[in-house]
Structure 1
Amino acid sequence: MNWLRAFDASARHGSFTLAAEELGLTPSAVSYQVRGLEAQLGHKLFRREHKLLNLTRLGHAYLPVVAKAFADIDASTWNLFGKGFEQEVTLRCLTSLNLLWLMPLLGEYKAQFPASRLRVLSSSWSEPSLGESIDVDIRYGDGNWPDGAVLPLMHNEVIAVAPPSLLGSVPHSDLHNLPMIEMTGVVDTWRHFFALHDPKVTIPEPTYKVDQSLIALELASRGLGIALIADVFARPYLERGTLIRASDTALSTQHGHYLVLPSDRNSHRPEVSNLVTWLQSQAGSGTALHTVA
């Protein structure tokens, strides 16, 4: 069992040193246990090249078998001895999605999983984490990240929103004359919007450029301009009446929100699977965890 634990941790981290930190052992002890397993099996599981640790073909094939076996043991222990056995799950989420979509739902999550221990982190950009052990990472983009298994979460339309006071001052055909708020680093811009809404107009430079949807929404709600925002973010402001839709035109976004399960973590843990399934049910995507094994 110790040999298998050493193999599992070393494969997930790609390092005897990091595996040793997880297991509370020395790197030499982990290396010794992996060699013992390889001797027992009669095959090499890792290629050791210039201090780099890479799985062999057989190692790649064996890892999901070992990971599933540990997940089954964890699940059985969890079912037999109660939910108090749950381990902490770390979820990282983009700040705007965290505040505008996730936070209002967490009470329901806690009611469904009362023994859960959830650690929630925020991020500004969709990039691999550095120095943090993340179990589930919510990112925005094209879904092409090499550091883990990727599951679709949600794709939203992008809509134009404005405060009622500002929008009432001009006809809808003159939206381009209002101060515009634009997000940096996105592919769905005011240029794309007006190409659909009114392709004949000359689009001025945005008055404000911001890096988060929450900032854009707050600027707009204070009467400082119109914002182009994913409808999932605008929904709370629309429901309160702080903002209204400035046009029936909507962009079908080229990017979306995805769940990334980093390859250096055990995504088969029951508490991780439960969180993934719950997030997908809330977003309406419903893609099963096992489809990306």
Structure 2
Amino acid sequence: MQNIRRTLPALPHLNVFDAAARHMSFTLAGQELGVTQAAVSYSIRMLERDLGVSLFTRNGRNIVLTEVGERFARDISLGLAHLRQSVLSIRKTGAARMVTLSVSSAFATFWLMPRLNAFRERFPEIDLQVRSTDRDVDLALEDMSLGVRYGSGILPSYSRADLADEIIYPVCSPAYAAKLPRAPEKCGARDVARAALIHLDEPFRVCPIWADWLHAQGHVPKADLPMLRLNDYVLVIQAALEGQGIAMGWQHLVEPLVQRGALVRVTPHVWATGVVYSVVWAGPLSKDAGKVRDWLLEAQHGAPLPTGRL
């Protein structure tokens, strides 16, 4: 049996030849492949030397396929197309066994991580890939199984199951709460407005801000409130944990921290915005993806919150 390594030229050279034959340009082939024109020229020379024939004729900066080159280009194009299709098919087979979940960094940190051990104990057979992003990426375009979205992030084409109402209340560390002029159960919106506020400068979507929460409580500040501004909710909550001031607490995210005593509610007043967070999906779900969706809903609505460390 002949050694296949001696029979076939190097695959990278074949890939370069395919690009050069399609573009009829070493420069454009290099741009497609992300290499220099000189690198393309070198690969073509190595391929021609390996085959013992000329694949192109050169006329200054112009190139033309020889008769042998034309035949070889057709065969290579067909062969590479079959190879790409085979690779894609295998990757899809592997991906079919994986469930991808798109969530924000805050949801991943404060909601998912405390519950993940319980999920893995219950579904050890599911290969779950969590993709943390604060952008509302298109699930279909990114080939993701499920996502957690709200507001404008829920596209009309998505199927959805409601996960949690958006309920917001101020939170701070116990140490900072001890510095407040009144006990948390007696604090009102005016007390909150006079405190050191930590603000989320959300970079990718419209979300409630401190002025919205205060207005919902019937308090209109006379001037812009000085505050610490952070563009990541994980940082906002970390700042609150470190005693930097009062943060807006999204209930479905901060409740475990409140139950553990790491954070305290600054006031009994809450704001239900009317917005809903939902589990969404863009197409038919695999059996495992359906299990993940159902678990997300059950963990939010039915199962008790964990008390261990994050």
Q: TM-score, normalised by structure 1?
A: 0.61
Confirm or deny: 8 A CA contact 1:187 1:254 kept in the other structure: no
For 1:63-102, list aligned pairs within 5 A.
Answer: 87-102=97-112
Q: Distance in 1 between the 2:242 and 2:214 partners?
A: 23
1:258 CA displacement = 1.5
2:268 is paired with a residue whose SS is strand
- In the other structure, the counterpart of 2:235 is 215
**Alpha-carbon contact 2:199-2:247 (below 8 Å) kept:** yes
The equivalent position to 1:188 in structure 2, one of 189, 208, 225, is 208
Structure 2 CA distance, aligned partners of 1:234 and 1:90? 24
Q: For residues 23 and 146 of structure 1, what CA distance do their matches in structure 2 show?
A: 29
After TM superposition, give the deviation of residue 242 of structure 1 in Å: 2.6
Counterparts of 1:85-124 in structure 2, within 5 Å, are: 87-124=97-134
Matched AA of 1:179: A
* 1:152 counterpart letter in structure 2: D
1:169, distance to aligned residue in structure 2 (A):
2.5
Q: Does 1:247 align with 2:267?
A: yes
State the shift of 1:273 in Å: 1.2
| Distance apart, 1:209 and its partner CA | 2.3
2:160 is the alignment partner of 1:150: yes
Aligned counterpart, 2:171: 161
Report percent identity of matched pairs: 21
| 2: CA distance, partners of 1:254 / 1:183 | 20
Q: Which residue of structure 1 aligns with residue 196 of structure 2?
A: 179
Q: Do the aligned partners of 2:154 and 2:280 also contact (CA within 8 Å) in 1?
A: no
| Partners of 1:166 and 1:225 within 8 A in 2 | yes
Structure 2: distance between partners of 1:195 and 1:182: 16
SS in 1 for 2:274: coil
Contact 2:164 2:300 in 1 (8 A): yes
Equivalent residue for 1:270?
A: 287
TM superposition shift of 1:216: 0.9
* Distance of 1:116 and 1:127 partners within structure 2: 23
1:282 aligns with 2:299: yes
Q: Which amino acid aligns with 1:224?
A: Q
Cα distance in 2 between the residues matched to 1:149 and 1:155: 17
8 A Cα contact 2:100 2:129, kept in partner: yes
Amino acid paired to 1:105: R
Size of the aligned set, in residue pairs, is 205
Change (3 A) 1:210 1:200: closer
Please, which of 147, 168, 171 is the counterpart of residue 137 of structure 1? 147
Instruction: Evaluate the alpha carbon distance shift between residue 206 and residue 147 of structure 1 in structure 2; reply closer, same or farther with a 3 A threshold.
Output: farther
Query: How big is the shift at 1:160?
Result: 0.3
TM-score, normalised via structure 2 length: 0.58
Please give the root-mean-square deviation of Cα atoms over the aligned residues, in Å: 2.8
Deviations 1:112-167 (A, max 9, x none): 22211111111112332586321111123256413432222211310101223323
Tell me the distance in 2 between the aligned counterparts of 1:203 and 1:243: 28
- Alignment correspondent of 2:256: 236
Distance between the aligned counterparts of 1:191 and 1:113, measured in 2? 43
How far did residue 89 of structure 1 move? 1.1
Q: Secondary structure at the match of 2:249?
A: strand
What is the Cα deviation at residue 229 of structure 1? 1.6
Q: Which has the larger radius of gyration?
A: 2
Q: Give the Cα separation in 2 of the matches to 1:145 and 1:128.
A: 8
- Unaligned stretches of 5+ residues in structure 2: 1-83, 91-95, 182-186, 303-310
- For residues 295 and 240 of structure 2, the distance between their equivalents in structure 1, rounded to whole angstroms, comes to 32
CA contact (8 A) 1:182 1:206 kept: no
Q: Is the 8 A contact 1:213 1:233 kept in 2?
A: no
1:240-284: CA deviation from partner (whole Å, max 9, x where unpaired): 323211111111023332122123xx41x2111111111111122
1:216-254 residue CA offsets vs partner (Å, 9 max, x unmatched): 111111121211120122223223323211111111023
- State whether residues 155 and 255 of structure 1, in contact with CA within 8 Å, keep that contact through their aligned partners in structure 2: yes
Question: How far apart are the structure 1 equivalents of 2:263 and 2:106?
Answer: 17
Say if 1:142 and 1:255, in contact at 8 Å, map to a contact too: no
Helix, strand or coil for the counterpart of 2:270?
Answer: strand
